[in-house]
A and B are shown apart, each in its own frame.
Chain A
Amino acid sequence: MRTRGLWLLAILCAMLPLSGCWDAEELNRRAVVAGIGIDLSPDKKEYRVSYQVIIADEISGKTGRGGTPTMVYSAQGRSIMEATRKVSMLVPRLVSTAHARIVVISEELARQGISDIVDFLDRDSDIRLTAKIFVAKNGARAHDILSGLSAMGKITAYTLAQKTEMTSKEYGANYPVEIDDVIRDILVPNSGPIINGVDILGNVEDVRKQSNLEKTDALGILRMSNIAVFRGARLKGWLTEDESVGLLWVKGKLNKTSIVITPEEQGEITLDVRRSKTSTQVLLKDPEHPVVLVKVTAQLSVREMDSTIDLRDPATLNELEVYVNKEIRKKMKAVVDKAQSLNSDIFCFGQTLERQHPQKWKSLKGQWNELFPKLAVEYHVDSIVRNSQMRDRSFKYDLNKE
């Protein structure tokens, strides 16, 4: 009798853990956040945090009511976390940020400083460091960016993340910047992170309406924009498109891009960069004035030409290479000049110096903010035009002969 009672007790005890995980919150009780947007509140004292939440019913199709696939909820608070808690007043489910893939910060806030935001993103155990960061450009609020709808892919935040990946590979005026990149760069002395801009092409009001998707040329579309330069945690300025490409070249992040050159007495020739490699060296001929040497080797192919030159002759290709080298150098110089005028070592030349000459860095570290704006930078560009696609001469070559 006594053993039977003990058994019963044991079975009853076993029922407690059998109900499963204490922390379990089923998927249909969660609101999955795809993107986070952070603005300043209208009175500039608080944060306004917006969450792009995926509406699963609309994604799966059958149960949809014809609404938008995502919804944006926002709340205001003195910190990001407070605002997040307050969002529960609007959302019936547990706001779950584990799948957030983008974080958008408004330009106004970025100019004020992002260190508080970065700490939240770094510390939170749900948000992964792989989330991509953007700055909303041209007066767009982060809220507006998240409200946008896109024709390809139902979840705008994920589409934006894909756009970043794609344009980084194809055009090279952006490259994916993730949370940990920002944290590391803020901590580099006299440097700061670089963050991709994003803006709205078209009307802010139209881009958030479902009717936006009912025309072939959408009224509004989210566009990857140029790169924002920070110093410390504050936004200092924007790069132009050429400077952005130059930046990727200096940092060695470039995959593909196109270069248009106009050799003398010839029409425009467009070349594709297929592969490019950058190495940076710091030379210490004069110990007090280090010189940075940026070496680029690029492989190109001719894609388009409005010209009659004959590409069968290797000498012609060599001539083209000279123009290409000049063009690449021009882009790199533009961005270096810009960074020096903003006095932000976004290329991390300081770290290169530290890695190559650790002893010298110790003495120069203190004066780096005075040295960097006057730093001499040399460029060695060596490009090779590998091929000219399917034709060697243009059809115009024959046109001219007759």
Chain B
Amino acid sequence: METTKFSPLQFFSMLIMFQLGTALVVNLGMEARKDAWIAVLSGMIIGMLLYLGYAFLYTSFPDKLPTQYSRILYGKYVGWLIGFAYTVFYMNKASRDLMDGGLLVFASTLKETPLFIINTMMMLSIVYVLHKGIEVLARTAFILLWVVFLIGMTILLLVLFSGILDFTRILPVLSDGVQPVLKSVYRQNYQFPFGEIICFTMIMPFLNNQKAGVRVGLLSILLSGLILSATVVTTISVLGVEIAERSIFPLLTMVGKASIADFIQRMDILVVMVLIIGDFFKISVYFYAAVIGISDLLQIPYRKILYPLALIVLFSSLTIARTYSEHVKKGGEVLYMIDPLFYVILPAALIIAALIYRARSRRQAGT
């Protein structure tokens, strides 16, 4: 295992970038229509609970990777399998996010560029950063967090001062009852993007401050949940749910609508920047989690398998789905039932085992 460490602040920036990543620009919680923002907030609360579970596992084994402690808890074979399942899951997530980002850039701005080139460029930069190590990624996150923050502020001011907000468009609240909201939370919001931070358990052992790290993690979920929810409110009150719901890229359309005095306008390219930056971190963290997991499971040095695995992610991102609809459908209709295995069930199994393990080792220490 590497000995590099990063600070809670860098961990915080990585978490924020990871959660905002693609969630900020894609259609979030639109199954709840007008009440999408409530769905996002409820998802956030469930996400915080999940995170507390992941944090518990981390504090139980502060210097071990999940692939290591799963073998301690469930024995050599079952534990190895759990670890392996996670790495496969992370690889799949990384290629799905690569596909996501590539397709959105393809659909919105680079219409002539082949998807393969867009994805290759993204993967090249990710591999370059990860080759330098996780610490470099953490520092990059801290710097780019400010870039994203500045872009966010620009967009916010732009939308506020162009007078296109009409908050009556999110009224009446909960007109169709809580059912659509619950459905949206169940199908999407607690998993995406909040449950996805499960992959951070793979990099939490590199934290240099255990207690503060856990705390900033919780704070980051709160903050990104609020940002996402506010974004959804803004998007719907600018475009109306009728347009936002059908949009593949609602934030882009929303910012395109803003203009101040016919002079400051066409700022939607900023949104594409945010997408690329956020997507970069999402893929990087997933990919890093997968690489470090495999390097631990198969006992191969990390840098040696980085490039071959990058190729796997790149090619599976291109073959994972033929169309954007197929890609979204897989996510929305199949994976939401499989993914909870990794977000909820396996972590829960690990937590129970960890509790027993703790109690037993305490008893042993006592006697």
Cα A184 to Cα B107 in complex, Å, equals 24
Q: Is the CB of A128 within 8 A of B110?
A: no
**Min CB distance, A10 to chain B, in Å?**
12
Q: Is the CB of B175 within 8 A of A130?
A: no
B326 within 8 A of A: no
Which of A21, A128, A183 lies in contact with B266, CB distance below 8 A?
A128
Q: Is the CB of A354 within 8 A of B253?
A: no
B257 within 8 A of A: yes
Cα A47 to Cα B308 in complex, Å, equals 53
Query: How would residues 105 to 137 of chain B score, 1 for a CB under 8 Å from any chain A CB and 0 otherwise?
Result: 001111111100100010000000000000000
Which of B114, B175, B239, B242 lies in contact with A358, CB distance below 8 A?
B175
Q: Is the CB of A355 within 8 A of B266?
A: no
B256 within 8 A of A: yes
Closest A residue to B258 by beta carbon equals A130
Cα A183 to Cα B113 in complex, Å, equals 31
Q: Is the CB of B257 within 8 A of A130?
A: yes
Cα A21 to Cα B118 in complex, Å, equals 11
Q: Is the CB of B256 within 8 A of A22?
A: no
Q: Is the CB of B265 within 8 A of A130?
A: yes
A9 within 8 A of B: no
Q: Is the CB of B256 within 8 A of A130?
A: yes
A129 within 8 A of B: yes
- State whether A183 and B243 are in contact (beta carbons under 8 Å apart), knowing that A17-B121, A125-B108 are contacts in the complex: yes
Task: Name the B residues within 8 Å of A187 (CB-CB).
Answer: 242
Q: How many residues of A contact B (CB 8 A)?
A: 19
- State whether A22 and B110 are in contact (beta carbons under 8 Å apart), knowing that A122-B243, A358-B175 are contacts in the complex: yes
Task: Name the A residues within 8 Å of B225 (CB-CB).
Answer: none
Closest A residue to B114 by beta carbon equals A22
Q: Is the CB of A23 within 8 A of B175?
A: no
A58 within 8 A of B: no
Q: Is the CB of B172 within 8 A of A358?
A: yes
Q: Is the CB of B172 within 8 A of A180?
A: no
Q: Is the CB of A180 within 8 A of B240?
A: yes
Q: Is the CB of A128 within 8 A of B117?
A: no
Which of A23, A183, A354 lies in contact with B242, CB distance below 8 A?
A183
Q: Is the CB of B175 within 8 A of A354?
A: yes
- State whether A184 and B113 are in contact (beta carbons under 8 Å apart), knowing that A129-B253, A130-B257, A130-B265 are contacts in the complex: no
Q: Is the CB of B117 within 8 A of A22?
A: yes
**Min CB distance, B128 to chain A, in Å?**
13
Cα A22 to Cα B113 in complex, Å, equals 6
Q: Is the CB of B109 within 8 A of A129?
A: no
B3 within 8 A of A: no
Closest B residue to A184 by beta carbon equals B240
Cα A125 to Cα B249 in complex, Å, equals 10
Query: How would residues 218 to 241 of chain B score, 1 for a CB under 8 Å from any chain A CB and 0 otherwise?
Result: 000000000000000000000110
For this complex, 21 residue pairs linking A to B, each with C-beta atoms less than 8 Å apart, are A17-B121, A22-B113, A22-B114, A23-B109, A23-B110, A125-B107, A125-B108, A128-B256, A129-B253, A129-B256, A129-B257, A130-B256, A130-B257, A180-B239, A183-B240, A184-B240, A184-B242, A187-B242, A355-B172, A358-B175, A361-B175
The chain A residues found within 8 Å of chain B, CB to CB, are 17, 21-23, 98, 122, 125, 128-130, 178, 180, 183-184, 187, 354-355, 358, 361
Known: A23-B112, A184-B243. 13 other contacts (CB 8 A): A21-B113, A23-B110, A23-B111, A129-B239, A129-B256, A130-B259, A178-B257, A180-B239, A183-B243, A184-B240, A354-B175, A358-B175, A361-B175
